Amino acid sequence: MTVAIKIENVSKNYGNLKALNDVNLTINKGEFFGLLGPNGAGKSTLIGILGGLVNKDVGRVSVLGKDIISNYRESKKSFGIVPQEVSFDPYFNVRETLELQSGYFGIKDNDEKINELLEALDLADKAEQGPRQLSGGMKRRLLIAKALVHDPEIIVLDEPTAGVDVELRNSLWDYVIKLNKQGKTIILTTHYLEEAETLCDRIAIMNKGKIVKIDTKENLINSIDKKLVKVQFSDSVEDLSDQLEGRNYNIDEENNEIEVEVSKQDLDELLKFINGLDLHITDMNIESAKLEDVFIKLTNLGGGDN
């Protein structure tokens, strides 16, 4: 399998702050890769290094087999980075912004690609408008178009759906999935963990400048020994507290529902217990752990020792 990005022993300090601490990471060509972590974990610093905006202190980074320092121009062309911050030159309209961005990469007569992006991101009817005339969601679409206008092999999406509506989010993911199927490598950072769980093949979780875990999303989720059983009855559940004592549970008396969290090995025993309650069950749902559970555990956001 061809390696798209290889990061070896990379560290970066800002004074006394160790933003990145001996980071090692390999991302394969064509992957849809998630890079997750709480604020301050080091994600933006790592992306800045990939994009040539931040100088690493030590370590090596290669893109498609070539060092990003000695092959700066080539590696720069390989990347399309959608930043978190929305910033445009107000003197150029949408089409001119994309033409100017094309010129940065030495691309002339890029109308075919620009028109494709305008259509795909629903910006065609805004092509002659300036950035100040665009809504927040449209500005986000223009950021994405700028990142893709030179047809990069690797696309980095840094919180691309922050603050945008559901329609844009869905249309964006449809287009990005299409690009990934065409062989583009996608790297996603997001605080919407359900997006990463739905989209990403593999996920790296960062915390305090380090990568604490890398694995497929299935392996990450299966590493949490948890089942959440939700049961709704036609009968009242107000007297179940005593019988559920000693378990991790919630009771919703208004809707006659109980919610019980158990380990996988205790699931069968719980189901036998529920079946023996002599109450009529109207609905039942059993959920496995989610990526959010893994994220909280690995980044210690649920409390405990720091």
Residue 272: φ, ψ to 5°: -65, -40
Torsion of CA 82, 88, 94, 99, to 10 degrees: -80
pLDDT for the residue numbered 301: 61
Tokens 């601490």 appear where?
21
Neighbours of 294 (CB within 10 A): 24
Q: What is the pLDDT of residues 201-232, one digit of tens each?
A: 999 999 999 999 999 999 999 898 889 999 99
* Assigned superfamily of 3-221: P-loop containing nucleotide triphosphate hydrolases (3.40.50.300)
Q: Please give the Cα distance from 107 to 87 (Å, whole number).
A: 22
pLDDT at 130 over 80: yes
- Distance (Å, rounded) from C-alpha 127 to C-alpha 272? 63
Neighbours of 304 (CB within 10 A): 7
Please say if the pLDDT value at position 12 is more than 80: yes
Distance from C-alpha of 246 to C-alpha of 225, rounded to nearest angstrom: 18
User: Would you say residue 303 has pLDDT above 70?
Assistant: no
Tell me the pairing of strands 79-82 and 154-158: parallel
pTM of the model: 0.85
pLDDT, one tens digit per residue, over 52-63 is: 899 999 999 999
Residues 6+ apart with CB under 8 A from 9: 22, 23, 24, 58, 59, 60
- C-beta of residue 48 within 8 angstroms of C-beta of residue 202: no
More confident position, 167 or 73: 73
In the chain, where the domains are located: 3-221, 226-288
Residue 240 · residue 211 · CB < 8 Å: no
Would the pLDDT of 138 be above 90? no
The mean pLDDT value for 2-19 works out to: 95
**The two three-digit tokens of residue 232, written as one number:** 């709704």
> What pLDDT shows up at residue 245?
87
In DSSP notation, 96-160 reads HHHHHHHHHTT--S-HHHHHHHHHHTT-GGGTTS-GGGS-HHHHHHHHHHHHHTT--SEEEEEST
| pLDDT confidence bin for 306, thresholds 50/70/90 | very low
- pLDDT of residue 259 exceeding 90, the answer is yes
Q: Per-residue pLDDT for 86 more than 70?
A: yes
CA atoms within 13 A on the CB side of 216: 4
Task: Reply yes or no on whether the pLDDT at 305 is more than 50.
Answer: no
Q: What is the mean pLDDT of residues 167-190?
A: 91
Report whether 229 contacts 38 (CB < 8 A): no
- Fold (topology level) of 226-288: Alpha-Beta Plaits (3.30.70)
* Phi, psi angle pair for 89, to nearest 5°: -75, 120
Does residue 304 carry a pLDDT above 70?
A: no
Average pLDDT on 85-107 reads 91
